[in-house]
């Protein structure tokens, strides 16, 4: 699929933070997703093994979750692990994977954050600017913000608040399991992002498109000699 190339990836951590501050003004996190129009959903994940990064994008039908397409890309991991700068570690290999994609997903679910990020531009928001499609951040662990009074039942949600700003929700996608931390990436809003993630989680804690992408990304094949 066609990407909107925004910048090169060869940056220092301080340059990366400055770029985030610049790009964050372009992120649109108040646009409801037209859930009735969604037909294809993509899950996006990256695994790292021995300093090699492998990206997986798995496209499924919605609401049936039938497999449509899986694309993989693998390359050396270019950037150190720095909390809040995941985009710069995973972005280059994701760019390569997105360029292989033949489908045109309506929404992308990322294993990572959207605006629930200290600078309000996690990987789902950042790559959303490259995709110019609705993106949603689905974090497994809390990066920033606080929540309270979250019920144990599946579907329970509590606002995720950071510095008096609501940046997403803690969402229970499976009864009595740890919540997911859901936030809009780009061209999405909090209510429709949370609703779509819940609809995409019929059985497991992870939304089905991300679960499939996670499994695919973790299956490393040897690089050609």
The binding site for Mg(2+) consists of 45, 111
* Order of strands across the sheet that contains 107-110: 67-76, 52-61, 40-49, 107-110, 135-139, 180-186, 165-171, 157-162
Q: How many CB atoms lie within 10 A of CB 205?
A: 15
Q: Which residues are annotated as a binding site?
A: 45, 111
What percent of the chain is helix, strand and coil (3-state, nearest 5)? 25, 25, 45
3-state secondary structure of 208: helix
Number of residues written out for the chain = 225
**Backbone phi and psi for residue 43, each to the nearest 5 degrees, phi listed first:** -100, 140
Check residue 177 and report its DSSP letter. S
Check residue 146 and report its DSSP letter. B
Angstrom distance (rounded) from CA 130 to CA 2:
9
């Amino acid at each position: 699929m066609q990407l909107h190339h925004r910048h090169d990836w060869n940056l220092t951590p301080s340059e990366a933070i400055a770029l985030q501050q610049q790009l964050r003004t372009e992120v649109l996190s108040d646009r409801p997703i037209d859930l009735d129009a969604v037909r294809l959903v993509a899950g996006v994940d990256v695994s790292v093994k021995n300093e090699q990064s492998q990206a997986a994008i798995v496209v499924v039908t919605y609401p049936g979750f039938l497999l449509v397409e899986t694309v993989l890309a693998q390359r050396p991991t270019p950037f150190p692990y720095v909390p809040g700068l995941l985009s710069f570690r995973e972005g280059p290999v994701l760019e390569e994977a997105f360029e292989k994609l033949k489908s045109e997903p309506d929404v992308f679910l990322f294993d990572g954050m959207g605006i629930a990020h200290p600078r309000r531009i996690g990987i789902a928001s950042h790559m959303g600017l490259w995709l110019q499609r609705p993106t949603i951040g689905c974090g497994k662990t809390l990066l920033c913000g606080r929540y309270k009074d979250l019920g144990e039942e599946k579907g329970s949600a509590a606002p995720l608040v950071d510095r008096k700003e609501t940046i997403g929700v803690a969402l229970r996608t499976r009864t009595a399991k740890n919540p997911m931390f859901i936030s809009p990436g780009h061209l999405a809003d909090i209510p429709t992002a949370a609703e779509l993630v819940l609809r995409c989680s019929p059985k497991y804690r992870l939304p089905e498109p991300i679960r499939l992408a996670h499994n695919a990304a973790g299956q490393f094949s040897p690089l050609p000699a």
